[in-house]
Structures are given as structure tokens and as C-alpha cells.
């Protein structure tokens, strides 16, 4: 093919760079003087020197032009307040080849510069319009079929494109998790929603490839392949050589990934459809046939800047901008179109202008549509809750035969056994749930043969085998990425995070990814899961901050996340059933906080009294979301609001308070920490003469602040109130921890302060 001459754009130094790029294409075609070959006689004929046939080239070129004109449209209409997103795909249009060579049933997790990919994937199903759908998303229209106007996302339910929102590598773990889940489903006999030989596609930039979250995905992919476990993920690194304004060292991506063991590397020229097509094809076919993690290094460029507000001329030399604009893949596609004889100059320019007209017309139409105008509309898909259906699912007990098999007979059913403590009853409940839900998987560090650090999951691996209960590598980010992948494939994951302090390493997998998916897909996609976390303080003989973390703020701050924290075994079993039902029925992301210090607690007041052991609830019993447990309900001299470790502490302190002050004390175990049941808290405060809030977390940003807010906003702020909380510090080792955490004496002292 004829080489592209150096930039025509050198004559346009004072122009807006989008205008330069636009005019470059027009002038390039008008001034074309290269040789013209005879066009292939039919659409199935292969272009000279390429693996791409004439029909394929025409369609890829059309997809590239759609992507480009959507970018140009966004730059023009943003200043008119008709479009609200200008991060474009210009220079990355070669990713349309990846879409053409994969299937619409291959789940795709896309880089934000994936306009070409999306335009091409829209061809996979009849009757779909990439221009209108994209315009609606750019315009934040309520009619946007991807997000319902909540964000500009590349997403489509029928095309299996799961929405991402400007993610910086945070989507890589769940993409790999989805690839692993495709294979795992077949091992456990779960019916996949996609063909068994599907692959997961994940695109990202060269700058993002350096992010720790990307590295954890690459490492886990290699770790998986090293063990000869299938992980059919196609990592597509779209290398344009720059991240906003920070340049990637020349050759860095190839040098860093070309020789990684168990991550199979392929290169493709994304700037040239004729050359790059066969290269992309080899990578896709390799991933699908070998089921191995595959790294496709796709050469791209970035024209028109990072976004509409990025005025590159202020920090990039004119010469450098000219060179980048000269490498525009649409100029190369134009050269192929003209040199092959597939298009005349007039035909190509007519197609270019017709595409422009189509994109602007769609944008004007989208601007006339309704947008989100109420808080209720905005939040509608965030946290769906259907109480009757959830309760019916939580109390469903139609799996008696499976229970008998799992527990070893009628006499060994847990409800037939003597009262037991928290750790045992959590383990029994997990056996119950895995029997009830054949699609459920439990995984994490040390959960299998060892049964977890505290033996809570003991016996599960033996009963349900390694395909359903298994250890992962030591990486919380990837544990939660796997959970999202399993959820994407219709399974019910029960990931374990070994300690609450370790969750903070991976928080964004819940905050930015799992919990946001229903919101940004307008309820079309969901990440049902129940994340178990050993939590809170007061461990004896083993501790310090990392094993006594009671910072729940990072969880309660996540929109839509359900957080439950039981203090006793029977509550734990019923809460787990409800959480699994919330995940199953409403697709909710849930966190189950297990108080470590109460795992083995059997006694309440005196050693040997056995008053913190309880009967296991039959499988038809569950707990309503937001439902608290009240001790001494009619007492109103003092009402103590608390949770977790605070419950038995408050009960012991109450006995002392009743003896010393002759008060009747009511203890309210909140149990559900997010969302807090504000109406219930206010109702309990209404009948209280005095209120005490016991929160072992830190003074700042703890659960107690939410409780007090509910009391005050409920109109009971005048009631005498005291808060007993932990100090604003990390938890030290050994006995010094008790200087940080509230104790029974602090509760009693607070009551005396209220009396004074």
C-alpha cells in the first residue's frame, strides 16, 4: 500500500486540534495521488497482502468512521451543553478488529477508548444502532440503553458488554474472574448464560498496565495458567504511548510483557487494518483454543488529546502533534480504501460526511430526550429490594434431601444438636447454604483444607470438594475480582476476606466495581455476592491493628452495599440466609462481618454459664433486613444501642447498672449496619429516658455517628445521650488494646454520667 505522506496538518498551527484531525482526513482523500489497484471482484475476496476480505474492510472502516465522528460530535456539542463526555477513541479505532474477530457472547470489559470496538460489535445482532445508542449515552439521556443516563459508558446487555466508568485497571480482576468462572461453571455443572467456549475480553491503556490492580490480574492469570487451569481472558493493551500527559517509555510494554511466563504475548498493529487483522486473529484464536491468558499488545495512537479539556498545544510541541496526527489510523484506512479501488475519492468523502451527518442528527435527537430529573430516578437501580421475595427465598426449605446428605442424617441436623457458639453455627449455616444453592462457591485464603484461620469453614472442602470450596492466592483484590466473575456467570460467590484490615487493600473492587454495576447498567447487570470478613476487636493473645480492625466506615460509605454483623450464632445463621437471598433475588452486594472475639465465646456472665450459646434455627427461619434484636424490651430508664462485641458487653454492663442505679436497661443489637434502620432507631429512642451508644469503632466516622444522627433527625436529640467509643488510633498489641477499645467499665461510667 502507498505510504502516507507527512502531515498535511502542519498548515493548521492555530486550529483546534479536533478541526485539524477532521480536515486532515478530508484533505488526505482529496489530494490522494497513489496507485489504484483493481478492486476485488466480490466482497469475500481477500485484499492483496492481507487476511482481511473486502466486506470485512468496508465494515471495519465504517465502524472506524462512526467512532471518529462520535468523537468530533462530542467536541462540538459539549460547548453547547448537549453532550457531557469528551474522552474519545480517536487513534484507537483499530480495536474494531478485536470486536469483529470475537463474538457478541464473549463478555467484554472495555477501555473508555473503545468506540470502534462498540461500533463493530453492534453488527453482531440485527436491528441495533451504535450511533443512536452512543449518542444517548453521550447526552446523559434517560433513554440511554446502557446506563439510563447515569454515565457515559460503553455497555450493552444483548452484546455482553459490561459497563465500566473511566476505570484505571480496576476492571482487570473481574475480567479475569469471568474467564475463570466460564471454566469453573462447567466443573460444577452450572449452566452458563453464554457458550462454553467463550472468552473474556478486557481492554486498557499502556499507562493503566502499570497500575497495581492490573498487575494483580496479570499475576493471577499467570498463577492460574502455571497450574494448568484454564483462564481464557484476552487482555488487550491499547498502547498509544501516553497516559494523559505522562509518556510511556518507548518499548516498555513489549519489554515488560513479551517474555512473561504463562501470559502469552501477541502484537498487532492497530493503526493498519490490512496488517493488523491477521495478527489480532492469531491472538483471539489462540486464547479461544488454548484457554490460556493471552496478552494482545495493540499498537494505537491518541489524536485530539485525552479529552476536550486537554489542550495539548500547551504542553506538547507542534512537531510532536503533527507526527501524532500523521499516524492517524483513519488516514491509513483511507489509503487502503483508495489504493485497493474499493472506494473512489468521492465515495469515501461521501461516506465520511454521511457518517458525520448521522452522528450529529443522533446527538440532536438525544438532546431532545428526557434526562434524569429526580433523586428517585437516579437511585432506582442502585439498591433494589423486594422484601416479600427475599423473605420467601431466605426461608425456602425445599432441599431436605440435600441437607440430610450434607449433615449425615436426621439426627445430625444442626437444629437437632445442643446449643452452640458463633463459629460453629456460621460453619453449619455455610454447609446449609452450599446444600441449598448448587451454584454457590466459597473461596479465599486458607478456607479449604485448613478450614480458615479460625476453623469456621472446617469440613466444607471435604463435603463440597475443591470445585466449590477452594483456596485462592494471597490477594484480596483478586479474591473480589473472582467473586465478580462468578457473579457475572450466574453463580453465587461467598468470598472470604481473612481480616477486615485486609479488605482495605481491595476496597475499590467493591466500591468502584461490584456495588456500582447495577447503578451504571440501569439494573441490567449485577454482582450478587456475600463477602465474609473476620472483623472487629478484642481478640486475646493475637492481635494488633491488623487482626483487630473495627473500621467499618469504608464499608458503610459504599452506596448500595448491605452490611450485617451478628453477635450470636443463631442470628448469624438467619442473617446469612437473608444475605444470600438478597444476592439471589435482588443481585445485592453484601458484607457479613464476623466478630472474631465472639467466635468461640460460650459464656455471658460467668465462666461456664453457657449463656452465649444458642439453638441453631431451622432452615425456614430468617431475619428481615434492618431487623434488630432487643433485650429487655420494656425497659426505658436507659437504652443502649450497639452491635457485635458490644452486645454481650452491654448486657454485662446492664446488670451492673441495674444494681447500682436501680435502672431498667434495654439493649438494642442493631445487627444491620448498612443501611441503618433509622426509623427503628428513632422509635426505640422515643421511649427512652436516656440513651447510650456503644460503638467499639473509632470516635470519628463510626457506626455510632449514624445512630446519633438517626436519633436527632427523628426528633429525639433532647434526650440525654452519651457515646462510648474507641479512640481515634490504631489498635496496639496485647493488653494495650484495651486502652483503645471501650470496656464494660466505660459503659457503666457513662451510665453514671447520665445519672449525674
Q: What's the number of CA atoms in the CB half-sphere (13 Å) around residue 208?
A: 24
DSSP secondary structure string for all residues of 590-606:
EEEEEEGGGTT---SSS
Sheet holding 562-564, edge to edge: 469-471, 440-444, 492-497, 529-535, 589-595, 562-564, 672-674
DSSP letter assigned to residue 493: E
Q: Which three cell numbers stand for residue 412?
A: 445430625
- The reply to whether 421 belongs to the active site is no
Residue 398: Cβ-neighbour burial (10 angstroms; 0-12, 13-18, 19+): exposed
Angle at Cα 146 formed by Cα 144 and Cα 148, nearest 5°? 45
CB within 8 Å of 104: residues ≥ 6 apart: 121, 124, 125, 158, 159, 160
DSSP secondary structure string for all residues of 662-727:
---EEEEE--EEES--HHHHHHHHHT-SSEEEEEEEESTT-HHHHHHHHHIIIIITTS-EEEEEE-
Cβ–Cβ < 8 Å for 123, 96: no
Residue 550 CA to residue 454 CA, distance in Å, equals: 18
CB within 8 Å of 513: residues ≥ 6 apart: 167, 170, 171, 174, 484, 527
Cβ–Cβ < 8 Å for 452, 458: yes
Q: Residue 205: phi, psi to the nearest 5? A: -90, 165
Catalytic residue among 190, 547, 722, 752: 547
Residue 73 CA to residue 138 CA, distance in Å, equals: 10
Cβ–Cβ < 8 Å for 73, 83: yes
CB atoms within 10 A of CB 269: 20
Query: How are beta strands 691-698 and 638-642 bridged, if at all?
Result: parallel
> What distance separates the 2 farthest-apart alpha carbons in the chain?
102
Q: Which three cell numbers stand for residue 646?
A: 458490644
Residue 552 CA to residue 232 CA, distance in Å, equals: 36
DSSP letter assigned to residue 40: P
Q: Terminus-to-terminus CA distance in the chain, angstroms?
A: 92
Closest CA relative to residue 418, chosen from 273, 570, 232: 570
Cβ–Cβ < 8 Å for 525, 563: no
CB within 8 Å of 214: residues ≥ 6 apart: 169, 172, 204, 208
DSSP letter assigned to residue 97: H
DSSP secondary structure string for all residues of 396-439:
----HHHHHHHHTSGGGSGGGSPPB-HHHHHHHHHHHHHHH-TT
Cβ–Cβ < 8 Å for 329, 64: yes
Could you tell me the CA-to-CA distances from 83 to 301, 307, 311, 362, 575 in Å, in that order?
24, 13, 19, 12, 45
Q: Which helix (H) or strand (E) holds 100?
A: helix 96-101
Residue 626 CA to residue 36 CA, distance in Å, equals: 72
How many H helices and E strands in the chain? Answer: 28, 19
Residues tagged active-site: 547
Amino acid at each position: 500500500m502507498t505510504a502516507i505522506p507527512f502531515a498535511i496538518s502542519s498548515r493548521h498551527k492555530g486550529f483546534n486540534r479536533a478541526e485539524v484531525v477532521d480536515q486532515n482526513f478530508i484533505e488526505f482523500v482529496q489530494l490522494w495521488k497513489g496507485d489504484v489497484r483493481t478492486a476485488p471482484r466480490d466482497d469475500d475476496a481477500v485484499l492483496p497482502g492481507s487476511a482481511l476480505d473486502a466486506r470485512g474492510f468496508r465494515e471495519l472502516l465504517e465502524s472506524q468512521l462512526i467512532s471518529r465522528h462520535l468523537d468530533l460530535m462530542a467536541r462540538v456539542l459539549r460547548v453547547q451543553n448537549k453532550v457531557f463526555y469528551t474522552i474519545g477513541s480517536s487513534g484507537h479505532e483499530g480495536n474494531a478488529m478485536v470486536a469483529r474477530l470475537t463474538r457478541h457472547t464473549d463478555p467484554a470489559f472495555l477501555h473508555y477508548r473503545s468506540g470502534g470496538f462498540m461500533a463493530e460489535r453492534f453488527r453482531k445482532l440485527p436491528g441495533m444502532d451504535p450511533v443512536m445508542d452512543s449518542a444517548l449515552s453521550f447526552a446523559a439521556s434517560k433513554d440511554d440503553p446502557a446506563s439510563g443516563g447515569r454515565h457515559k459508558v460503553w455497555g450493552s446487555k444483548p452484546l455482553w458488554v459490561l459497563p465500566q466508568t473511566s476505570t484505571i485497571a480496576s476492571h482487570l480482576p473481574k475480567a479475569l474472574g469471568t474467564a475463570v468462572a466460564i471454566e469453573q461453571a462447567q466443573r460444577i455443572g452450572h449452566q452458563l448464560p453464554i457458550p462454553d467456549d467463550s472468552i473474556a475480553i478486557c481492554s486498557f491503556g499502556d499507562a493503566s498496565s502499570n497500575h497495581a490492580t492490573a498487575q494483580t490480574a496479570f499475576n493471577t492469570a499467570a498463577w492460574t495458567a502455571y497450574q494448568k487451569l484454564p483462564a481464557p481472558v484476552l487482555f488487550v493493551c491499547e498502547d498509544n504511548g501516553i497516559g494523559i500527559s505522562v509518556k510511556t517509555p518507548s518499548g516498555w510494554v513489549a519489554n515488560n510483557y513479551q517474555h512473561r511466563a504463562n501470559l502469552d504475548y501477541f502484537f498487532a498493529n492497530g493503526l493498519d487494518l490490512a496488517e493488523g487483522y491477521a495478527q489480532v486473529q492469531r491472538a483471539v484464536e489462540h486464547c479461544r483454543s488454548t484457554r490460556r491468558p493471552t496478552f494482545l499488545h495493540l499498537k494505537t495512537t491518541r489524536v485530539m488529546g485525552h479529552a476536550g479539556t486537554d489542550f495539548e498545544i500547551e504542553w506538547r510541541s507542534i512537531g510532536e502533534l503533527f507526527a501524532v496526527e500523521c499516524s492517524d489510523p483513519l488516514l491509513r484506512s483511507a489509503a487502503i480504501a483508495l489504493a485497493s479501488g474499493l472506494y473512489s475519492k468521492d465515495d469515501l468523502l461521501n461516506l465520511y460526511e454521511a457518517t458525520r451527518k448521522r452522528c450529529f442528527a443522533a446527538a440532536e435527537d438525544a438532546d431532545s430526550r428526557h434526562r434524569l430529573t429526580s433523586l428517585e430516578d437516579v437511585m432506582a437501580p442502585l439498591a433494589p429490594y423486594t422484601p416479600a421475595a427475599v423473605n420467601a427465598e431466605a426461608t425456602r426449605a425445599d432441599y431436605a434431601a440435600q441437607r440430610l446428605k450434607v449433615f449425615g442424617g436426621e439426627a445430625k441436623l444442626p437444629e437437632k444438636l445442643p446449643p452452640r457458639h458463633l463459629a460453629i453455627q456460621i460453619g453449619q449455616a455455610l454447609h446449609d447454604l452450599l446444600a441449598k444453592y448448587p451454584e454457590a462457591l466459597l473461596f479465599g485464603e486458607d478456607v479449604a483444607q485448613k478450614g480458615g484461620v479460625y476453623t469456621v469453614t472446617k469440613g466444607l472442602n471435604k463435603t463440597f470438594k475443591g470445585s466449590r470450596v477452594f483456596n485462592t492466592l494471597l490477594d484480596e483484590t483478586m479474591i473480589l475480582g473472582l467473586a465478580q466473575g462468578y457473579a457475572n456467570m450466574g453463580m453465587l460467590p461467598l468470598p472470604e476476606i481473612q481480616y477486615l484490615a485486609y479488605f482495605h487493600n481491595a476496597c475499590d473492587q467493591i466500591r468502584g466495581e461490584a456495588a456500582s454495576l447495577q447503578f451504571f447498567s440501569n439494573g441490567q447487570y449485577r454482582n450478587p455476592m456475600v463477602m465474609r470478613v473476620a472483623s472487629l476487636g478484642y481478640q486475646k493473645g493475637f492481635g494488633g491493628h491488623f487482626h483487630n480492625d473495627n473500621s467499618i466506615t469504608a464499608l458503610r460509605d459504599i452506596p448500595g452495599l448491605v452490611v450485617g454483623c451478628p453477635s450470636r450464632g443463631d442470628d448469624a445463621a438467619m442473617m446469612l440466609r437473608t444475605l444470600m437471598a438478597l444476592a439471589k433475588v435482588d443481585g445485592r452486594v453484601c458484607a457479613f462481618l464476623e466478630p472474631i472475639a465472639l467466635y468461640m465465646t460460650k459464656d455471658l456472665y460467668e465462666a461456664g454459664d453457657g449463656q452465649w450459646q444458642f439453638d441453631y434455627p431451622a432452615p425456614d427461619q430468617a431475619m428481615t433486613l434492618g431487623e434488630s434484636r432487643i433485650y429487655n424490651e420494656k425497659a426505658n430508664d436507659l437504652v443502649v444501642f450497639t452491635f457485635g462485641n458490644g452486645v454481650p458487653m452491654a448486657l454485662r454492663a446492664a446488670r451492673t447498672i441495674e444494681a447500682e442505679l436501680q435502672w431498667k436497661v434495654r439493649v438494642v443489637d442493631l445487627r444491620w449496619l448498612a443501611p441503618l434502620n433509622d426509623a427503628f432507631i428513632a422509635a426505640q429512642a422515643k421511649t427512652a429516658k436516656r440513651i447510650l451508644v456503644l460503638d467499639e469503632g473509632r470516635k470519628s466516622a463510626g457506626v455510632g455517628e449514624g445512630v446519633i444522627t438517626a436519633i436527632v433527625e427523628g426528633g429525639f436529640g433532647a434526650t440525654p445521650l452519651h457515646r462510648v467509643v474507641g479512640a481515634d488510633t490504631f489498635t496496639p498489641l496485647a493488653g494495650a488494646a484495651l486502652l483503645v477499645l471501650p470496656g464494660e467499665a466505660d459503659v457503666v461510667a457513662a451510665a453514671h454520667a447520665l445519672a449525674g
